Structure 1
């Protein structure tokens, strides 16, 4: 594609980025069969190629931006399956973020959508707002109808966080919702790394990675979160921390893109690049260590269905890393049909597109349960909560399988 963009975008930073991204697409259509929404809806406009074509038409002035155009873009999960199969190496997710911002700037959303997105952005990334609301929901959860009860995660307690005692130190991203929903994940990661001779430390003023704002058409807000995290981490980076560890693969993918997102910021560009280079998914760290020092916290031979989040397998391209760790630890991994397909969580997608998200969840749960595992493991907090609402099997972060008391699987 060789786009000739219209005046309103041609000489802008976003326009230049969009043009470069569009040129990478050869419109071959190889991405369409792998797209979850195209599989569900059967509409070419709800495939990556169809969405790219719509964005190109609008940005070239060959068709007006409409609410229908925006609806097709909104229905994209951002799962990046299309990027994983693209022979041209197109960065579709970056184009989607740009397209949404530019088109949303020319099309007024219905007020209900504006309110929903504003609530998502103003509550979820802020623990001081999200946690009290979650605790209230958990308090009245026993009184709720079953369907609603399943959507509110039960309250969980964290295991003890070990003291920092090793020369090797790594930072961890606390995140926004994970400490309230599943505080045991980072605590379990800290205990596992402690066994491996690594102290996992927290930067108290760090928080949300910014991905939620980035993918709901607020890139400026996303950059504010990125800058805050960089400021919080930088003293630790200068003090010799080896890596910045993320236990939520969606957050990890976004942190790895800080260098690109802040490349034009003269104050933060160099530090953002350094932070991205230091970012590691927890599985990358554990896989490099002596796994013989780890012991599973559930009975040997436990059958585990691993749900590889899209942000892990398609975004970070870490296929098979967690699976290898679990297999070497003695877990029996079950076969998961169509394991490349999204579960429907996709950050805030399950809140903003509940119909499609529910259908994808049902399909994913059926695939995960098909070989009758004892439990389901994931690597992303959003996927974990989303899947747990659709199954009676326990759904845990994979690192917790090294920390669960026997009988609590």
Structure 2
């Protein structure tokens, strides 16, 4: 695609990257066929090709408008289009650049500003989010129904983690909302890894991966969180930790991007690249492990929802399914497995109508094979799908943990 950046756009920190991405797009339109929002709305501007065109106009000097902001906001950042694109267009990076340009020019309505500020205030702080969740559960009947649906329905019995005892050691990103909404997920991962001779070591100073801030109008704050995590992990990396494991694929996708996002930061570029190289989704560790040592004999009927951040961002589609089948679980067929559930980080709160439509469509596909449980690999998807109150939804590693012999 031919483009001529305005003088103002040429001064943007990522101007060269934006121009390269725009020029790589041949405007073929293959991406529209797999775009969830285009399928729902049927508007060219609510698909990747239309959004690329809008960003092109912005970078060529056209003033930003609330309408352009809305079309960019409606994007899930699911990256399905990148899987489909024959030209390798790095759409998600261009979208981040375009959103930053629009948000710098177009003030949001007060309600949107308050919502986004609240998300940045509470979500990236695990202790604060956990306290808020507990308070909300106590007052559940008084809360709006959409908020009630997001809260866990049962108080989990917390399970202990194994002691650090093996020579093989990995770090684990604990996450922001997962400790409150699904507190046994990381513990289950640690126990399964322990059976395979791998210990999980703590890095208490590490916090939110930075994705929430980065994708909700605060890119600089998100990158600062990335830097703090790098600092927190670095001593363990130097001491020989072989990987940084994530049980939430959304966090994992963002950590894998640290090297790219901090490439121009002379103080952190090399470290960020190293962290990205060490980032592993949990399933990558299990895929290469001798799973027969676990002694699992499972026969539950499961439907697996593959998060967009696992299959499109990390290119690990089909890997969890293969691991579960190796362990004996029965996986039911799921039509249109490439489509998004509508969670997309904070999307289910900032775009609730579209998110609910996508959720209900995804659940119908997942339930078509009559599974006992739906499993997934990302806390956002897990919580969003479970909010419908239909088939139980859990992280897949918890079922593996429960099937371990005593």
Preserved CA contact (<8 Å) 2:298 2:403? no
TM-score, normalised to structure 2, is 0.96
In 2, Cα distance between the equivalents of 1:218 and 1:108?
A: 14
1:247 corresponds to 2:247: yes
User: Does the Cα contact within 8 Å between 1:262 and 1:268 map onto a contact in 2?
Assistant: yes
Secondary structure at the counterpart of residue 39 of structure 1: helix
Moved more, 342-351 or 105-114: 105-114
Q: Select which of 329, 332, 355 maps to 2:330.
A: 332
Distance in 1 (CA, whole Å) between partners of 2:14 and 2:101 is 8
- Which residue in 2 is equivalent to 1:150? 149
Q: In structure 1, the residue corresponding to 2:382 is in which secondary structure? A: helix
Whether the aligned pair in 1 keeps the contact of 2:149 and 2:389 (CA below 8 Å) is no
* CA gap 1:23/1:128 in 2 versus in 1, 3 angstroms: same
Q: Structure 1 unaligned segments of length 5 or more: list them.
A: none
The CA deviation at 1:145 is 7.5
Q: Across the two proteins, how many residue pairs are aligned to each other?
A: 403
Gaps of 5+ in 2: none
Distance in structure 2 (CA, Å) of the matches to 1:151 and 1:217: 23
Cα distance in 2, alignment partners of residues 109 and 145 from structure 1: 24
> Aligned runs of 1:4-153 on 2, under 5 Å?
4-61=4-61, 63-141=62-140, 148-153=147-152
Deviation at 1:197, TM superposition (A): 0.4
Give the 5 Å matches for 1:5-404.
Answer: 5-61=5-61, 63-141=62-140, 148-154=147-153, 155-296=155-296, 300-404=298-402
Q: Secondary structure at the match of 1:150?
A: helix
Preserved contact between residue 58 and residue 98 of structure 2 (Cα < 8 Å) = no
Distance change (3 Å), C-alpha of 1:145 and 1:257: closer
Mapped to 2, the partners of 1:316 and 1:158 lie a distance apart of 30
Question: Shift of the alpha carbon at 1:52?
Answer: 0.3
Give the secondary structure class of the aligned counterpart of 2:88.
coil
Distance 2:38 2:280 in 1: 32
Q: Distance in 2 between matches of 1:174 and 1:321?
A: 22
Q: What is the TM-score with the length of structure 1 in the denominator?
A: 0.96
Q: 1: distance between equivalents of 2:92 and 2:304? A: 25
Return the offset for 1:142.
5.8
